[in-house]
Amino acid sequence: MILNKILDQAHALMKKAVHEGSAVIDGTCGNGHDTLFLSNLVGDDGHVYAFDIQEQAVENTKARLKEHHRLERTTVIHDSHTHIEEHLQEDHKGMIQAAIYNLGYLPGSDKRVITKPDDTITSIQTVLKSLKKGGLVVLVVYHGHPGGKEEKDAVLDYVSSLDHRDYEVLNYSFINKDRTPPFIIAIEKNV
């Protein structure tokens, strides 16, 4: 397949945005796959902040990072991504290179525990304030679950309202798939 699948595209965008020494955010660390991916991109001199509201996600992420000897590059935080700013080191505020989110629920867990529209938008607003010029936010939007459509619609409304002089916003999706396939929203900061 020539076209990237959704997660491959999300990672391709991260590879373009993140370089050695970057400070980055995984807003929904889940099972730690994106956190590990980012920790490899930032190298020894960079740092990853990984957030999740579920203790199991935090433990899964720490175990994955420890297994791959990447825990020292990462701060794994058991807290909502709405509180990102409270956890950033002072020298990283305004210096975040990229952030990634997988919206929805933690695979293999309670599907009733989901990301919420207001929390997600608050988190995006916080990250955009801390993002460097040329920085990138990637949202992988899973919306085929109860509450998913509401979050999808709210996030699309919010990012569509961002001033085009300040941000470029991309929607990457497969439009001929059955049901409700995930899609990507990517936001690049111009100012």
Specify if 136 maps to a domain.
yes
Q: Range of 140's domain?
A: 6-189
Q: Residue 76 has what pLDDT? A: 98
pLDDT at position 60 is 96
Residue 184's CATH number: 3.40.50.150
CB neighbour burial string for 92-126, b if at least 16 within 10 angstroms, e if fewer: beeebbbbbbbbbbbeeeeeeebbbbebbbbbbeb
Question: What is the H or E stretch that residue 8 is in?
Answer: helix 6-17
pLDDT over threshold 90, residue 110: no
Please give the model's pTM, rounded to 2 decimal places. Answer: 0.96
- Asked whether residue 46 is assigned to any structural domain, the reply reads yes
Mean pLDDT of 166-182: 94
Spatial distance between the Cα atoms of 53 and 165, rounded to a whole number of angstroms: 34
- C-alpha angle 21-62-96 in degrees, rounded to nearest 5: 30
What pLDDT is attached to residue 122? 98
> What is the chain's mean pLDDT, rounded?
96
Spatial separation of the C-alpha atoms in residues 50 and 29, rounded to whole Å: 6
Write out pLDDT tens, residues 26-51. Answer: 999 999 999 999 999 999 999 999 99
Minimum mean pLDDT range among 11-15, 79-83, 110-114, 153-157: 110-114
Given pLDDT bands bounded at 50, 70 and 90, which one contains residue 6?
Answer: very high
The closest alpha carbon to 104, from 36, 172, 30, 170, belongs to 30
Tell me if 119 is assigned to some domain. Answer: yes
The Cα–Cα gap between 58 and 41 comes to 20
38 within domain boundaries:
yes
Total tally of structural domains belonging to the chain? 1
Residue 133 pLDDT? 97
1 within a domain of the structure (yes/no) = no
Q: How far is CA 72 from CA 47, 58, 59, 141, 143, in A?
A: 9, 15, 15, 29, 33
pLDDT tens-digit readout, 51-109: 999 999 999 999 999 999 999 999 999 999 999 999 999 999 999 999 999 999 988 88
